[in-house]
Amino acid sequence: MKSLGMISPAVAFLIVSFSLGELGDGLNIFQGIYLVTVGWNEGAVGTALSMMGFTALIVQTVAGDWVDKTSIDRRVFLSAASILTALSASAIFFVQGNSQHGLIYVSKVIEGIASSFIVPCLSALVLANFGPRHFDAIMASNALWGHIGSVVSAFLAGLIAYFMYPNIKLCFLVIAASALLAVFFIGFLPEGDKLMGRGFMGKHALDKFGHVEQLVEENGNDEALVEQTCNKKIDDERKASSYWEVISDTRCYILCVSGFFFHFANANVLLVLGELMDSNDAEDDAPSRSAIPLIGGAIVLAQLTMAIATWVGDKLTQQGIGRKPLFLAGIMTLPIRCALIIYWKDAGNIYLLLTQILDGLGGGFFGLLHPFLVADITFGTGRFNVVMGLTASCFGLGATLSNFIGQHIVENFGHVVSLKCSLLLSLIPILIFGCFMPETLGNRGSTKLSEKKESNIHGDSYVELVE
């Protein structure tokens, strides 16, 4: 699969990220609304929508390992994952009434498997092409346009769903169109250096304008990188660290635990918010239809704020602001958001909707910093995508438990108690990350994880490969 080469790589990644953003699981909630309108009970809908999350939870780490070690062009995996996601979403067109449960369950499992490959494939392709020096800038651009894609997707789907209600199937054509757009522009992505895509140092990389850079020449004063790229044997260069060596890095499991508790506290909040907004609309006899603009507005507002937060985070990163303060700024928005929802629970839907700005800030900074932190921790180990998958699985586990336990608390004790639990849980990742996570900015480029650990102990610093 050769690159078509008609547009610059950075622009190609931008368009692909926009299209993949439209494939995001934000439209799952519209699938839930449709299934309820055709007679499915809430339990069956909840089971269907959770199947994707549970599957991704199991598959993500394996998918990351596969993307690391595969000899197959990663663009093939990315195209296949996009097509399968669209096909599985299209299965809802075959649902007639309270039937075809098995079809939807299977489609969600397929969607969970396919979605597990999208992030590691895209991240690996960025690293393979732009190397450690320009990785942050391109990933920030990808995240920004992914959020913009999600905004467009949610707006179009919500518009169609509202005016076609209760027959809202046509809104899922947005996913099919997005998949076709993504697959077409994936052909414009260059394959890059496969080994650099898994976190090894390469000799050449692209800058954001598509010009080729000599990594050795630009970092010629750094003895560690010169030795890695010039003086060592190829076999020694490309020997990946053991899984245990990577996973046992303190920074890795601090990121996993912090992300787990953040999502454990966060995921259920949007569900509770939607339920509170719906309960405030007492005059509407069709709550499912009245919920569509509210839910669509919540998604659009959050994604727009995420796009702004991503842009701001990228600019601050370029100015040398570290990962730790930006990550903490993101996760500290959650307890404030929970407190405001509790305070404004009877103030009206506009006030509740405004709390999504905090969700956007938290999600924007978290989503931007996640691949940056993983690249800092793992570059040189050959296990970049394994840790991307492992951390994503931990985050997914937290979100899954949040929805499950949080809704049981709502059922038995009410919305306020559920929000108070989320508020208390949201303090845990702040304490863990704030107290135990070292700053990782500038730590990218070592060849062995053990060297990183030794350097952290003795206070040495690694060559800074971040602009």
Element (H, E) at 18: helix 9-22
Separation CA 204–CA 183 (nearest Å): 27
Q: What is the DSSP letter of 25?
A: G
Element (H, E) at 206: strand 204-206
Separation CA 148–CA 156 (nearest Å): 12
Q: Using an 8 Å Cβ cutoff, are 201 and 215 in contact?
A: yes
DSSP string computed for 215-277: HHHHTTT-HHHHIIIIIS-HHHHTPPPPHHHHHTSHHHHHHHHHHHHHHHHHHHHHHHHHHHH
Residue 234: what pLDDT? 43
Domain 8-191 is found in CATH 1.20.1250.20: yes
Q: Is 173 exposed, middle or buried (0-12, 13-18, 19+ CB in 10 A)?
A: middle
Residue 349: what pLDDT? 81
Q: Is 108 exposed, middle or buried (0-12, 13-18, 19+ CB in 10 A)?
A: buried
Give the residue among 72, 114, 102, 92 at the shortest CA–CA distance from 31: 92
Q: Using an 8 Å Cβ cutoff, are 6 and 168 in contact?
A: no
Give the residue among 465, 444, 53 at the shortest CA–CA distance from 455: 444
Residue 281: what pLDDT? 57
* Amino acid letter for position 4: L
Give the residue among 325, 278, 270 at the shortest CA–CA distance from 302: 270
Structure tokens belonging to residue 58: 């199991």
Separation CA 247–CA 387 (nearest Å): 8
Q: Using an 8 Å Cβ cutoff, are 210 and 8 in contact?
A: yes
Residue with tokens 């009434």: 97
Residue 446: what pLDDT? 46
Q: Is 459 exposed, middle or buried (0-12, 13-18, 19+ CB in 10 A)?
A: exposed
Fold agreement between 8-191 and 246-450? yes
Radius of gyration of the chain (CA): 22
Would you list the domain boundaries of the chain? Answer: 8-191, 246-450
CATH superfamily of 246-450: MFS general substrate transporter like domains (1.20.1250.20)
Residue 209: what pLDDT? 63
Print pLDDT tens along the chain (467 aa): 555 656 788 888 999 999 888 666 556 667 777 777 777 776 677 777 778 878 888 899 999 999 988 888 999 999 999 888 888 878 888 887 777 788 888 988 898 898 889 888 999 999 999 888 888 889 999 999 998 988 888 788 778 877 777 677 777 788 778 888 888 889 889 888 888 888 787 777 777 666 677 665 544 454 544 444 444 444 444 678 888 888 889 999 899 999 999 999 998 888 788 778 766 554 544 445 666 677 777 778 888 899 999 999 999 988 989 999 999 999 999 999 999 999 988 888 888 888 989 998 998 999 999 999 999 998 888 888 899 999 999 998 898 888 778 878 887 888 899 999 999 999 999 999 999 999 988 877 543 444 444 444 444 433 333 33
Return the SS3 of 204. strand
Q: Tell me: cis bond preceding 166? Omega within 30 of 0 counts.
A: yes
User: 449 has which bridge partners?
Assistant: none
